[in-house]
Amino acid sequence: MSVALPRILRTSSFRLTLLYAALFGISVLILLGVIYGATGVYMSTSLDAAVDSDITELEDSLQVGGNEALTEQVNERVRQMPHGPMY
């Protein structure tokens, strides 16, 4: 016993509309995936650059002034930004 589909579901206009809606949905998902991936790479790269810059500055301070200069530099950074963005 087969169930007959309503007449509107059998029209080519309806099927074409479903096809376009599916293609649009897939396109949106792909676009969001690309944006999500690019944002993740950008944030990771920015964080790595900031950490590398901070490490370089602290190493330079250690080489120039020894432990006392390094301690003073770290304390100064904590005083300037007590809640971040220190990594």
Domain boundaries, the chain: 48-87
Note the pTM of the prediction, 2 decimals. Answer: 0.65
Q: Which alpha helices (DSSP H) does the chain contain, by range?
A: 12-80
Using alpha carbons, list the distances in angstroms from residue 24 to 9, 17, 27, 42. Answer: 20, 10, 5, 27
For position 72, what pLDDT does the model report?
92
Share of the chain above pLDDT 70, in %: 91
**Whole-number Å distance between alpha carbons of 33 and 27:** 10
Banded pLDDT at 20 (limits 50, 70, 90): very high
Report, as an integer, the average pLDDT of 14-33: 97
Tens digit of each residue's pLDDT (9 = 90 or more) over 66-78: 999 999 998 888 8
HEC per residue, 48-73: HHHHHHHHHHHHHHHHHHHHHHHHHH
For position 9, what pLDDT does the model report?
79
